[in-house]
């Protein structure tokens, strides 16, 4: 169990200590909760912070279940799950369009006219507050074109870790529980994060 996202960030920073002040490395946080952790890790390690905005493609009538994910121009679909649930291509296309619009809204709100900087670095450390289905993180991996990708999260199920290890250079996970239902079950305090909190945090971090 983690006390909260700050506690998880401090522990994650220890696990990533070998990357402290490494040239050509950048921390990439996933909104919303992942940005809280990413910002703290970036500050501890003395690394620059940026964000990238993937979106979950939800199943019909079950917004918590991801049938895929998208990030920038990359789309990842869980075709086995889509076939099992007999989801139509029409629904998938509509859901993709809706989530692309939301990702665009958030990017404009969080970054304004500022462009993403992750492509200016050779190594990207992607941080979220946990991984459940892996759909959004898979889409994020596909969207990033850099020399080296590291995934670092406080908690994730073993099956997802094994999948990610085949896709990226390194996976750092602090807690790998046998029974995994939701990310929030491994935090004592796991509040919803607002857009305004992210905007304030990014502005403050950049000023520092």
In the chain the domains, ranked by start, together with CATH numbers, are 5-53+110-207 (3.40.50.2020), 56-109 (3.30.1310)
The confidence score (pLDDT) of residue 120 equals 74
130 touches 183 (CB < 8 A):
yes
Give pTM, 2 decimals: 0.92
* Gap between the Cα atoms of 47 and 51, Å rounded: 13
Among residues 69, 14, 7, 5, which one has the least CA distance to residue 34? 5
Average pLDDT over residues 46-53: 94
Q: Are strands 49-51 and 25-29 parallel, antiparallel or unpaired?
A: parallel
The confidence score (pLDDT) of residue 117 equals 64
Ordered strands of the 170-175 beta sheet: 49-51, 25-29, 123-127, 148-155, 170-175
Q: How far apart are the first and last CA of the chain?
A: 30
The confidence score (pLDDT) of residue 51 equals 93
Model confidence at 118, in pLDDT bands (50, 70, 90)?
low
The confidence score (pLDDT) of residue 202 equals 86
Model confidence at 119, in pLDDT bands (50, 70, 90)?
low
By the 10 Å C-beta count (0-12 exposed, 13-18 middle, 19+ buried), 28 is classed as buried
Model confidence at 40, in pLDDT bands (50, 70, 90)?
very high
């Amino acid at each position: 169990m983690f006390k909260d996202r700050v506690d998880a960030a401090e522990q994650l920073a220890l696990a990533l200590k070998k990357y402290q002040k490494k040239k050509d490395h950048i921390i990439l946080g996933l909104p919303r909760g992942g940005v809280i952790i990413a910002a703290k890790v970036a500050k501890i390690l003395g690394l620059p912070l940026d964000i990238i905005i993937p979106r979950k493609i939800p199943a019909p009538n079950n917004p918590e279940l991801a049938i895929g994910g998208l990030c920038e121009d990359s789309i990842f679909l869980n075709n086995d799950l889509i076939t099992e649930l007999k989801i139509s291509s029409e629904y998938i296309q509509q859901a993709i369009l809706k989530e692309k619009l939301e990702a665009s809204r958030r990017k404009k709100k969080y970054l304004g006219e500022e462009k993403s900087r992750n492509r200016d670095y050779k190594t990207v450390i992607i941080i979220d507050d946990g991984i459940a289905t892996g759909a959004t993180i898979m889409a994020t991996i596909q969207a990033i074109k850099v020399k080296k990708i590291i995934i670092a999260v406080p908690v994730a199920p073993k099956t997802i870790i094994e999948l990610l290890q085949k896709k990226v250079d390194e996976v750092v996970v602090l807690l790998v529980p046998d029974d995994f239902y939701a990310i929030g079950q491994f935090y004592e305090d796991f509040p919803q994060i607002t857009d305004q909190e992210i905007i304030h945090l990014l502005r403050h971090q950049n000023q520092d």
